[in-house]
Amino acid sequence: MNIKRAKEEIKNTIGAYLLKDKYGAYEIPPVRQRPVLLMGPPGIGKTQIMEQISQECRIALVSYTITHHTRQSAIGLPFIQDRIYDSRRYSVTEYTMSEIVASIYDKIAETGLQEGILFIDEINCVSETLAPTMLQFLQCKTFGNHRIPQGWIIVAAGNPPEYNKSVREFDIVTLDRIKMIPVEADYGVWKEYAQQVNIHPAVISYLDVKQQNFCRIETTVDGKFFATPRGWEDLSRLMEVYEKLHMTVDREVVFQYIQYPAIARDFANYLELYYKYQQDYQIDEILGGKVREGIYHKLEKAPFDERLSVMSLILAALNRGFRETAEKEDRMERLLKIFRRLKPKSQQADTQPVSGGDQSDYGSAAEYLEGLTAGMQAERKYKQESGILSRREDQLYRDVSGILERTLQAVKADHRATEEQVWEKVSEIFEEENRGYEALFDQCAAGLEYAFDFMEAAFGGGQEMVVFVTGLNTGLYSLRFLQEYRCERYFRYNKELLFDDQEKEILKQMERL
pLDDT at 359 over 50: no
Pairwise CA distance, residues 237 & 449, whole Å: 30
Long-range pairs of 303-307 with CB within 8 A, sequence gap ≥ 24: 305/209, 305/273, 306/273, 306/277, 307/458, 307/459, 307/464
- pLDDT value of position 416: 63
- DSSP-assigned states of every residue in 142-163: EETTEEPPTTEEEEEEE--GGG
Phi, psi of 28 (to 5 degrees): -100, 110
Report the alpha-carbon distance of residue 218 to residue 227 in Å, rounded.
Answer: 9
215 neighbors 284 (Cβ within 8 angstroms) = no
pLDDT of residue 23: 87
Higher-confidence position of 343 and 207: 207
Q: Is the pLDDT of residue 376 over 90?
A: no
The one-letter amino acid code at 51 reads E
- As a whole-number percent, the residues of the chain with pLDDT over 70 amount to 88
pLDDT over threshold 80, residue 75: no
CA distances from 491 to 135, 265, 276, 478, 497 (A): 56, 39, 32, 13, 10
Q: Cα(60)–Cα(67) distance, rounded to whole angstroms?
A: 22
**Interval 108-118 mean pLDDT:** 88
Q: Are 174 and 135 contacting, i.e. CB atoms less than 8 angstroms apart?
A: yes
Would you state the pLDDT for residue 277? Answer: 87
Mean pLDDT across the chain: 82
Residue 149 has pLDDT above 50, yes or no: yes
Q: What is the pLDDT of residues 240-281, one digit of tens each?
A: 999 899 898 888 899 999 999 999 999 999 988 888 888 888
Does the pLDDT at position 70 exceed 80? no
What's the pLDDT at 69? 67
Whether 496 and 488 have beta carbons less than 8 Å apart is answered as: no
- Averaged pLDDT, 17-22: 89
Tell me the CA distances in angstroms from 205 to 88, 307, 308, 309, one per residue in order: 76, 12, 8, 7
The CA distances from residue 206 to 213, 305, 417, 503, in Å, are 9, 10, 59, 29
Residue 361 has pLDDT above 70, yes or no: no
Give the DSSP letter of residue 28.
S
Q: Are strands 60-65 and 116-121 parallel, antiparallel or unpaired?
A: parallel
H/E stretch holding 3 reads helix 3-17
- The percentage of residues in the chain with a pLDDT greater than 90, rounded to a whole number, is 17
Residue 93 confidence (pLDDT): 78
In the predicted model, is pLDDT for residue 442 greater than 90?
yes
Question: Rounded distance, CA 223 to CA 361, Å?
Answer: 69
Burial of 439 (0-12, 13-18, 19+ CB in 10 A): exposed
Query: Rounded CA gap, 46 and 50, in Å?
Result: 7
> What is the reported pTM?
0.74
Per-residue confidence band for 356, with pLDDT thresholds at 50, 70 and 90: very low
Residue 346, pLDDT score: 59
What is the H or E stretch that residue 357 is in?
A: none
Enclosing H/E stretch for 218? strand 216-220
Give how far the C-alpha of residue 102 lies from the chain's centroid of Cα atoms, to the nearest Å.
29
User: 499 by DSSP, 3-state: which?
Assistant: helix
What local confidence, expressed as pLDDT, does residue 77 receive? Answer: 77
- Note the pLDDT of residue 245: 92
| Model confidence pLDDT, tens digit, residues 467-507 | 888 888 878 889 899 999 989 988 888 877 655 554 455 44
pLDDT at residue number 355: 41
How many CB atoms are closer than 10 A to CB 260? 20
**Is 166 a residue whose pLDDT tops 70?**
no
Query: With bands split at pLDDT 50, 70 and 90, how would you rate the model's confidence at 68?
Result: low
Range from 213-222, 232-241, 317-326 carrying the lowest mean pLDDT = 213-222
Q: What is the pLDDT of residue 451?
A: 92
3-state secondary structure at position 33: coil
Contacts of 485 (CB under 8 A, 6+ apart): 441, 444, 445, 448
249/271 Cα distance (integer angstroms): 8
Kind of pairing between the strands at 88-95 and 78-85 = antiparallel
* Higher per-residue confidence, 29 vs 365: 29
8 A C-beta contact, residue 171 and residue 27: no
